[in-house]
Structure 1
Amino acid sequence: MKLILSAIILLSIALLTSCNKEDKPSEKIKAKWIENAFASLSNDKYPRVKAISWWHENFDNSELRIDSSPESLAAYKKGISSLKYITAPEFISNKLAEPATDIYHSAFPDFGGTEDMVTSQKIKDFELLAGKDIAWAYFSNNWYDVIQFPTDAVNTIHDAGTVPFIRLMPRTNFDEGGPDPNYSMQKIIDGNYDEALTQWAINAANIGFPILVEFGTEVNGNWFPWNGQYNGGGETNNYGDPSLPDGPERFRDAYRHIINICNDNGAENITWFFHIDAYGGPDENWNNIENYYPGDSYIDWLGVSVYGPQESGEDYQEFSEIMDDVYPKLEGLSNKPVAVLEFAVTEF
């Protein structure tokens, strides 16, 4: 009898173990997410998407590098090997041209935790891993205590044979979820930084080749201090048009102010991007992306961040599911070309 009971117990344990194994997410789930991304991009499901840029970095509990596992690297290399993904950008009148049917392949090639430790070796390393060159290298121009044009970083990227893409980041530090202690959209509008921004524009003009620039990455996300929540939120009676929410309106006007300074100082070699997150936050009507948009006369390309889970345990959504949610919003905003400026998923 004891032998029979022991056998039953062992069998039960084996069955439970088997069930638990089946319930666990596949160790190849990142590879499947990547496969889904390239499949949905390659079949023209999102025809306005003309560029993609992988965020290649591991940080904290996130493993976003394309080589976080052999399966993930293989999936990325297979997807990007398609002739649809091109590496040689074309410019018309110093503005990034929209490919007719192809998609530019680009990346943030692990320029460190501060996102500005630019080296040509990092670019080469990523290109070797991917098996394909990149059209641009994406990095942050953190303002910290002083606003300066990143001449060395821009020249390093250009000399490596790719296009510099600058993220203008008006932040003193990397604290998230609150206002910046120094920079605000109102101060930009009021001209508090005009002298530094004018010199930035002059240096950009003098660089002598086309560059790509965005201001206020993922503006609809309240993890960054330029989000409307920290610049007036949904109030309508303290700034500008009383029919518009003050926070987004201040961002819109601050971005316009920066572009005007650059244009006035001959920096016509800049292609300007407007960059949102696929979901953002807070989930309030005043935080809708159209309230932030500077307008077609200012912006050349639209951009979006599309992330799967960045840490194990987060809700899983495939790339195509996220894009299905955000792509119609981009279509409704403007007919400008779209770049997936950041996409990645962790290994879990």
Structure 2
Amino acid sequence: MKFTSLDAIAGLASELPVSDAAAVAAARARQNSLTKPPGALGQLETLAEFMAGWRKTARPEITRAQALVFAGNHGICAQGVNPFPQKVTAQMVANFQAGGAAINQLCRVNGADLRVFALELERPTQDFTQAPAMSEAETLEAMRIGADAVDPQADVLVLGEMGIGNSTVAAAMAAGLFGGDLADWVGPGTGSDAPGMARKIAAIEAGLARHKGAKGMGILAALGGREQAAICGAVLAARAAGIVVLLDGFICTAAAAALHGADPRLLDHCLIGHQSAEPGHRKLLENLGKSAILGFDMRLGEGSGAALALGILRSALACHNGMATFGEAGVSEA
């Protein structure tokens, strides 16, 4: 995909594919013919119908699942908001590449092909209390990297992130997009203590004051990071290819929320893998009008909750496609 300007992103909502209502109806009819009471599989049925609509077939399958993790570093760390040094970002990227992280194990067991992208780790974004985190050109370039990383042949895309300081970025973006009390958005991240939390809140207050007029995708440039922009690019590229997206927790969802700020329809093809233990995630989901597939009190990032939810999505389709109908099984419906 080509991104010409941040202002142009909102217009994509009217151009990109939408869910196929006929495929959803056919999938629902199949669900109601299977050897179970209607609705007995609960959200598994809903997930199967969701997949049917975006893959445009009554019997969707996951033959190719892709997982992308984007990593970036943040200038806001100059404000002392992070309990760990920024060199940890590169160290964790190396751990991903060596296969030693949680996301590696979850992708392996749930059948996702993992790729990791380190986005100029040696050059953090600007400190958003002093200047916009990224220029428009930098934001668009990171979005392009995210979009180019998406395999158009995938059936589902798992998205995750890594970046010291990015829980502060996520809270700032959520507050900038939806307002409210900052204390409701700010959480411990990788383990901030009370003074660390106070520094987070002070930094976000300063950033919001400096970038008061920013809206929608402007929030991404003013307060976000390269990994957040790459996530937005990947979400849009997936939409263009009719690929269902599984977003991870608070940080990943806050990144994609910039697209919601441009036009809520841009996230119609996205599922939320899990509800993070970060306190702001519940509030963020309420503002987005979405619910999570899982609630496991996870807050690791990396795409770990989304990769775990991929197993649930596979299970939904296994039941949808593999169960016998009443007629096939010779079971009376009366």
Fold shared per TM-score above 0.5: no
Higher relative contact order (CA 8 A, sep 6+): 2
Instruction: From the two aligned structures, give the one with the greater helix fraction.
Output: 2
Instruction: Give the TM-score normalised by the residue count of structure 1.
Output: 0.33
Return the structure number with greater strand share. Answer: 1
